[in-house]
Amino acid sequence: MEHNVKQSKSTTSRRSFLRGGLAVGGAGAIGAGLFSNGLPAFAEAESGGLTKGDAAILRFLSAAEILETDLWQQYNELGGIQDSEVPGGSGSKAYTDALKVLDGDMDQYIHDNTEDEFTHFTFINAYLVAKGADPVNLDKFRTLPSSKATGAQNIGRLTNLMRLTVDTSWWTRYRSRTKNPDFGDTFPPAVPGLLKGQFPAIPRNDNDLSPKDHLQAIANTAGFHFAFIEQGGTSLYPSLAQRVTHPQILRILLSIGPTETQHFQTWQDKAGNAPALTDPTNGLVFPDLNAPPFGGEDFQTNLIMPEPTIFLSRKFPVVSIIRPTETRGAAMGALKALTADGLFIGQSPEFFKVLRELAEQADAARHG
Ligand SMILES: [Fe+2]
Ligand SMILES: [Fe+2]
C-alpha cells in the first residue's frame, strides 16, 4: 500500500486518513492525511537521508507497531467501539460486558489504544518514505485465522490472541523497591496460571461466551495482556532511543514512547480490577491480589505508580523509573517477549526470519 503515499493528494483530516487506511481491512495502508499538496510534509521540514542505524531502528519500530495494531484491531472488533475512526467488526456484547467488569470505559480505551497504534506505524512508515527509506509492510504474513465469534471480521491476521501465555511479572517489576531487570533481577508473576498454558484473550467462537466465569477469565486474560503489550512499548522506545543519531529521530522516539506508557498506566489500573475467579473449563486461576499469599506492596491492586528502585548503580539513591531500559539487544528482547507470549503461533518460518532481521539490524545501530 506504500504507493498511496505518492498518489494521494486529496484528503487532509486525520480521521479521513484513518478511515481510508482501516477500510482496507486494517492492512498497511498509508493514508493521505500526513501530506498536503501532494508533498510529504517532512520533506519541507528536513532534508537529507537517514543514517543506516536510524532507518533500522525506525523500521523495527514500524514492524512492532504494525503487530500491535493487528492485535489491538482484533480486540476492538469484539470488545471495543467500532466506528469510523476504528472500523471493522461489529462487537460481541457478552465479551464487551465482561471487559467492562474491569472498567465501564474499557471499550473506549480499547478503541483509543487501537487508533493510537495505527497512527504509530502509519507515521513511522510515512517518515521512512519521506526520507527515501523503505517502509515496512507485513501484509503477506496476514495468514492467521480470525476468531469465529460473532462480531469479528473474517480476515487474515498477523497475530494470534487465542493461545496466549501471558507474562504478568511486569506487575511485581514495577512494584519492587530493590530490584531492576537491568541488574539481572527477575520478578514473580501476578497471575501464575497465565504462564502455565495457552489461553484465549478473545472468544475463539460463540461457545466461549459461556459459562460466565469462562468468559470473564477470557476478559481478565485480555486485561492483563493489554498491560503486558504496552509495558513492552514503554521500555522499547527509551531502550532504542539511546542508539539513534539524528535529533529528529530522537524526537520521534521520545514523543511516541511515552504514549505507550500512558497506555500501560491505564491498563495496569484496569487489570487490578479483574475479579478473582477460576475458569471452570480449564482451571485458570485469577487470584485475589489483595489477600494472602498475595497482597502487600508487591501485589496490592491500587499501587499503580512505579515504586522507586535501583538504577544504573546501587550507589545511587533509588528512583522512580521505567524498567528495563538497557539498550543492548533491546529489539531482539522485544521480539522474543512477543514470541513467548504466543502472539505468533502459526506464523511461517519466513515471518520469524523477517522479524529477526529487522531486530538484528535495529540492535546493530549505534549512536553517531
Ligand atoms: Fe504503539
Ligand atoms: Fe502500544
* 303-351 residue pLDDT tens: 999 999 999 999 999 999 999 999 999 999 999 999 999 999 999 999 9
Q: How far apart are the C-alpha atoms of 213 and 263, rounded to whole Å?
A: 26
Reported confidence tier of residue 49, pLDDT bands at 50, 70, 90: confident
Give 275 Cα–ligand 2 centroid separation in angstroms. 24
Least confident of 22-31, 210-219, 257-266: 22-31
What is the share, in percent, of the chain residues with pLDDT greater than 90? Answer: 86
Handedness of CA 175, 179, 182, 186 (dihedral sign): negative
pTM for this one? 0.88
Q: Is 278 helix (H, G, I), strand (E, B) or coil?
A: strand
Question: CB of 124 within 8 A of CB of 55?
Answer: no
CA of 119 to the centre of ligand 2 (A): 11
Is there a contact between 347 and 42 (Cβ–Cβ < 8 Å)?
no
Specify the amino acid at residue 228. F
Write out pLDDT tens, residues 263-277: 999 999 999 999 999
Residue 179 CA to residue 93 CA, distance in Å, equals 42
Cell of 364: 546493530
Reported as a pLDDT band with limits 50, 70 and 90, residue 292 is very high
Q: How confident is the model at residue 48 (pLDDT cuts 50, 70, 90)?
A: low
- Give the ligand with the smallest distance to the CA of 262: 2
For residue 122, give the C-alpha cell: 502509519
Of 16 and 125, more confident: 125
Report the alpha-carbon distance of residue 128 to residue 81 in Å, rounded: 31
d(CA 195, CA 190): 10
Is 80 exceeded by the pLDDT of residue 72? yes
Q: What is the pLDDT of residue 368?
A: 84
> What ranges make up the beta strands (E) of the chain?
35-36, 39-40, 277-278, 285-286
d(CA 178, CA 49): 44
Q: What is the mean pLDDT of residues 120-136?
A: 97
The dihedral formed by the CA atoms of 256, 183, 198 and 69, expressed in degrees to the nearest 10: 10
Nearest CA to 51 out of 228, 224, 250, 334 is that of 250
Which residues crowd ion ligand 1, with CB under 5 Å? 65, 117, 120
Ligand with an atom nearest the CA of residue 121: 1
Indicate the angle between helix axes 14-22 and 106-130, nearest 10 degrees.
90
Question: Tens digit of pLDDT for each residue in 77-109?
Answer: 999 999 999 999 999 999 999 999 999 999 999
User: How much distance in Å is there from the Cα of 73 to the middle of ligand 1?
Assistant: 12
DSSP 38-49: TEEHHHHH--S-
Report how far Cα 155 is from the mean position of its chain's Cα atoms.
Answer: 20
Average pLDDT rounded to a whole number, residues 49-54: 94
Spacing, Cα 325 to ligand 1 middle (Å): 17
